[in-house]
Every structure is written in structure tokens, then in C-alpha cells.
Amino acid sequence: MLQTTPNLSPKFSIVVPTYNRPDCLRRCLQSLAQLDYPREAFEVVVVDDGSHQPLDDVVADFDPTIAVHLIRQANAGPASARNAGAFAARGAYLVFTDDDCQPASDWLTALDAAVAKDPQALIGGHTINALPDNLYSTASQLLIDYIYDYFNQTKGKATFFASNNFAAPSDRFRELGGFDQQFPLAAGEDREFCDRWLFSNYPLVYAPAMRIDHAHSLRFTSFWRQHVNYGRGAFYFHQVRSRRQAQPMAVEPITFYLELLAYPLRRQQGWRSLALSGLFLLSQVANVAGFFWERSRQQKTVSPASVPSA
């Protein structure tokens, strides 16, 4: 276990962006207050991304238990909020999670073990759906599980982690400029950061013992909206990536989508497997709609009519 003195900066800075979900934030902070890790070795930086209700009282309830700091900013999205927290943090490592997540008590202990093996890596953990009776929430997490299986299938060569459960050395994160704040929505900025991290020849390492529960309650409309947003983020990601690599824009092969639709049938049984497969199909329809909507929106933004003549 890490040994520190109170006068030294903490090893880990946990960054939690939040927006209009005080109850979720309270549950998240409660789980962080129960971490089995030395209190002097970590801090929590909560970034209020323009919530309507002040969060001072929520954060103050935990101040006697853990070192927790509150930053406020005008609403600018999670990428901006995470960056604000990251650049204000004092820790040697930045650890990102979301306000609707509850890390396991050994979360930082597992991360500490992973850091000891790969101190310069971007380390991603394992996320568990905390709402198994909600079919939409189950489908949403199962999609992430599939993406992890697909993109991280080569041992020791992971390529993507979701930003609700990953950690990185603070200096390298800042060197790369943090998350791309130009992403239009809360979708794809973590994928772009992982791709930029790899492009800079830095490794990604999966640490499945670093577990969190994710309580993202969804219904039909919010599930559809989420995946339309993912499609919009996917267009922006592929656009940025093609520019960085100086190559034409390319999306995943058809096998990616065929395997995706079959994934619930391998992971679930009975009617739930069919229902989840149907939601996977719906998610991809929403993704395509969002992808082409964002492409059309950007094309209109740079259309000849909008460009001043010389």
C-alpha cells in the first residue's frame, strides 16, 4: 500500500463531472468515501458543469471524510468539465469516473496495482450495469462490453476505454491537451482521446479488477437519443482521426456490425437475448441517423454560401 505524508500531493486525483444530478453525485461520493485506500493518498475533484441547483451542500457533506473540491463552470459538456478538473488536480495520476457511477471499495487499490506494473499507461477498468432489470440500461452496457471485446481482443494491445472508468498519468494527459472539447456532445471524446494516446505511442492497459457499478437509467426515448449522439460523436471521431493520420475517413468493417447483432445471443438466454439483439439493431439505426445528421450539419456549416468571397 502507498505510504504518503500529509504535506505531499496525493497519488490519485479522482475527477467527477456532474450536471443536474445531485442525488447521483451523492451516491457516487458515498462510494468514494468508502474506498479502502489511504485518505491522504487521493483527492476528489467535482466539476459542476452549470447545474441549476447549487451542489455546495452535497459536496460539503463529504468534506470531513475525504479531500473533495468543487469547481463550477458554465455548462460546456463533459469533455470541458473533465479537463477543468484534470488541470486543477494535484495528483500524479488522474482517475475519471461519472456521477452515476459507484466504484467498488478496492477500486483504487486495484488501480494502484496496475500502475505499479505499467506506470506510464492509460489504464481502463471494468464497468458493471447496476440496473439489470432495466432492459435499455442492460443493452447499453452490453454494447460497451462488445466494444471492449472487439477493440481490446488482442492481449496487451487495448485500443479503447470509456471515460467513466480510466486513469492516466497527469503529465501525459496534460501534454496531450486533455479531451477534445470540440466534440458536439457527450459521445466519442473518450474514444478520440484513446486514439490520440495510441498515436503518441503510449500504451493502453486493461485492469478488470478496477470495477465500478454504472447506474444509467434509460427508457426508449433516452436510449434512442443516446445512440443518435453516439453516431454524431462517431462522425466527428472519424473525421478527426482521418486528419491526424492523413488518410481517408474509414469506419468499422461489416463484420463488426454482424458480430455486434449476434453478441446478445451469445451472452444472454431466452427472450432477453432476442430483445437485447433488437435493441442492438435499434442502436445502430440511431447511430447511422446521428452519423449522417452530423455530417450534413457540418457540410452546411462550411457550404460555399457560408464562406465569404475573396
Among the residue ranges 23-27, 211-215, 258-262, 298-302, the one predicted with the least confidence is 298-302
How distant is the alpha carbon of residue 79 from its chain centre?
9
> What is the Cα–Cα distance from 206 to 185, expressed in whole angstroms?
26
CB contact set of 244 (below 8 Å; sequence gap of 6+): 195, 196, 199
Q: What is the pLDDT of residue 307?
A: 35
Among the residue ranges 3-7, 46-50, 94-98, the one predicted with the least confidence is 3-7
Averaged pLDDT, 177-188: 84
Summarize the confidence of residues 50-77 as an average pLDDT: 95
pLDDT digits (tens, 9 = 90+) for 271-304: 999 999 999 999 999 999 999 999 998 888 755 4
Q: Is the pLDDT of residue 310 over 70?
A: no
The CATH topology of domain 12-297 is Spore Coat Polysaccharide Biosynthesis Protein SpsA; Chain A (3.90.550)
Enumerate the domain spans of the chain. 12-297
Under the banding of pLDDT at 50, 70 and 90, the label for residue 45 is very high
% of the chain residues with pLDDT over 90: 80
Interaxial angle between packed helices 135-151 and 220-245, expressed in degrees from 0 to 180 and rounded to the nearest 10: 20
Number of Cβ within 10 Å of residue 304's Cβ equals 6
Angle, vertex CA 41, rays to CA 26 and CA 130, nearest 5: 35
pLDDT tens-place string over residues 187-215: 889 999 999 999 999 999 999 999 999 99
Of 81-95, 127-141, 182-196, minimum mean pLDDT range: 182-196
The confidence band for 184, taking pLDDT boundaries of 50, 70 and 90, is low
